[in-house]
Amino acid sequence: MQELNEFLIFIDQYLGSSFWFVPLLLGTGIFFTLYLKFPQIRYFTFALKVVRGKFDKKGDQGDTSHFQALTTALSGTVGTGNIAGVAFAIHLGGPAALFWMLVTAIVGMTTKFVEVTLSHKYREKISDGTMSGGPMYFMKNADFRFFGNKINLKWVGILFAFATVLSSFGTGSLPQINSISNSMLASFGINKMLTGGILAILLGVVIIGGIKRIAKITEKLVPFMAVVYILGAFSVILFNYENIIPSFISIFEEVFSGSAAVGGFLGASISFAISRGVNRGLYSNEAGQGSAPIAHASAKTNQPVSEGLVAILEPFIDTIIICTITGLVLLSSGVWSEKHQNTFAKADLIILNRVYDEKDSFDRSSLFNLLNDEGKLMEKAFKFSGDIEVINGILNEDLSILHARSLAEDVIFYDNNKNLLSGKLSVQDGKVQGDIIVEGKSLVHSAPLTAIAFDRGFLGRYGNYIVSIGLLLFAFSTAIAWSYYGDRAMTYLFGAGSVIYYRIVYVIGFFIASFADTTIIWNVSLITIALMTVPNLIGLLWLRKEVKSTIKDYWIDFKKEWPDEKTPK
């Protein structure tokens, strides 16, 4: 597993964590924001009218209403990214990472508008009578020109569809059930396999019904789960009211300098904060990834732009509202920089070559460099290799243990039967070999960190139940939505007959991921996100003129049909 995790990190450094990914993602959103004159602001209130069905017409083709399409897409985005993803971003990049998540959402509102409009325009009715759409369809059917010559980008659509199938596991299935099972174990002591088994059966029952059953469930589930989670979050924020303003300040004051060391948090460089914030922001709202257009393609309308307008609301609800609230819970409660008792993930654990003191400025600087890319070329010099001696569970060596980007304290080693370990352990490049259990105090990330934060409110130790219930509802609905994205991609690639086999594998993978390593799953999701995002963004930029003309035609037609209705300026 350690070797697999290191391989995934190696691949990701050339994709989502590479120097060009953030400029491509944010640059596309900024370009369209300027090119279309800030549609996320000008069209926002009008989008609310569209989603309420004010301009709906009988006889329009499609399978779902505007609201159902929105809630289905939101069920795909409002998930672990809002609970675990925000915590992971702040854990990696500090409060400044949350700012970059919000920036990603603001420009992402425009990106969503563009990608949904194009995908809806080129959707197709398939053999079972339902609508199928997404970026693979505009890549296949749009008029792409290169120096005046038409070129065939169907192969890019095929690449995108394959990436969508992979991402349905890396984004929609694996991390969702993993977060659920971890949370249910921590809060209620429920075995991970039991959680995974029950939810896998429920998932199978739901997705067999296709988009119409999915839409009926999500239109009720999404509003309910959002209200429950937000009320629980404010019970923490208001309980720590004296920290609300300092929390807001911390988000913005280190935006262009990186986050300084606080408590057990060893600090983050500006480049690392931006990279992690943008990546987690994309994971949360999926703007530019090309997933949401697949859900929106099912909407009952013959006007692609009207569905694009509905999509503007997604990043606003998902990231600007819900992720900001989660961020304030983490920052106002103070848990993000504190060390907590936990069981260490071996993939997150590194044995360092000497004793490091986080109160020593030189040691802090050295570890900061190691954790923030600046020291990657020298990282072997930090890591211990050889044998270590453990006596009655305690490390009997002058070495330090790094876990979850923090110096671990009160570390105890156990064997697989949870007996105190005594003997020698082999360590290679900082990684402990052998099957053991390690516990101690360190920083915590993802859903467990958010659960701890929810205990610092009016509900006391019962607060983490809100996170458990929220994760259960959020993550399960995300898995439902992504199963639909995957089956549309399989339909595009291999025809409708392939969907049943995909669904079987999807449900099996969902179960297995309930007891797999969290860190590895998050790294899988980083890679699959990038594989979808890159071809989608390139396609959007290529078709920029068509986007603009399609929007212009929409407003002309709208004014003819609704002459008394005020249109955005």
At 392, the pLDDT band (50, 70, 90 cuts) reads: very high
Please say which residue of 442, 474, 503 terminates a domain. 442
DSSP notation for 96-134: HHHHHHHHHHHHHHHHHHHHHHHHHHT-EE-TTS-EE-S
Residue linked to tokens 């199938």 = 165
Closest CA to 183 of 403, 460, 452: 452
Q: What angle do CA 521, 405, 352 make, to 5 degrees?
A: 110
- pLDDT higher than 60, residue 525: yes
pLDDT of amino acid 79: 67
DSSP notation for 20-65: THHHHHHHHHHHHHHHTT-HHHHTHHHHHHHHTTTT--TT---SB-
- pLDDT higher than 80, residue 375: no
pLDDT of amino acid 473: 84
Q: Does residue 224 belong to any structural domain of this protein?
A: yes
CA 98 to chain CA centroid, nearest Å = 13
Do 297 and 408 lie in a common domain? Answer: no
- Which of 101-105, 368-372, 533-537 is predicted least confidently? 368-372
Do 492 and 372 lie in a common domain? Answer: no
The boundaries of the domain holding residue 375 are 340-442
Do 549 and 417 lie in a common domain? Answer: no
Closest CA to 277 of 104, 523, 439: 104
Do 252 and 170 lie in a common domain? Answer: yes
8 Å CB contact between 90 and 452: no
pLDDT of amino acid 521: 66
Give the dihedral sign, CA 163/68/313/101: negative
**Cα–Cα distance for residue pair 105/312, rounded to 1 Å:** 10
Q: Residue 438: beta bridge partners?
A: 413
- pLDDT higher than 60, residue 132: yes
Helix (H, G, I), strand (E, B) or coil at 551: helix
Q: Does residue 259 belong to any structural domain of this protein?
A: yes
Report the chain's mean pLDDT, rounded to a whole number.
87
The two structure tokens encoding residue 140: 């296949």
Please say which residue of 442, 471, 504 terminates a domain. 442
Do 219 and 192 lie in a common domain? Answer: yes
pLDDT of amino acid 217: 85
Q: Does residue 567 belong to any structural domain of this protein?
A: no
pLDDT of amino acid 109: 94
Closest CA to 283 of 30, 70, 527, 115: 527
Q: Does residue 169 belong to any structural domain of this protein?
A: yes
- How many separate domains does the chain show? 2
Do 396 and 531 lie in a common domain? Answer: no
Please give, one letter per residue, the 3-state secondary structure of 328-390. HHHHHHCHHHCCEEEECCHHHEEEECCCCCCCCHHHHHHHHHHHCCCCHHHHHHHECCEEEEE
Q: Does residue 244 belong to any structural domain of this protein?
A: yes
Do 430 and 370 lie in a common domain? Answer: yes
Which comes out higher in pLDDT, residue 527 or 437?
Answer: 437
pLDDT of amino acid 373: 61
At 531, the pLDDT band (50, 70, 90 cuts) reads: confident
The pTM (predicted TM-score) of the whole model is 0.84
Do 420 and 457 lie in a common domain? Answer: no
8 Å CB contact between 518 and 446: yes
pLDDT of amino acid 518: 57
Q: What is the pLDDT of residues 40-94, one digit of tens each?
A: 999 999 999 999 888 888 878 888 888 888 888 887 777 667 887 888 889 988 9
Do 109 and 194 lie in a common domain? Answer: yes
What number is the average pLDDT over the span 221-240?
90
- Which of 168-182, 384-398, 432-446 is predicted least confidently? 168-182
Please say which residue of 375, 407, 442 terminates a domain. 442
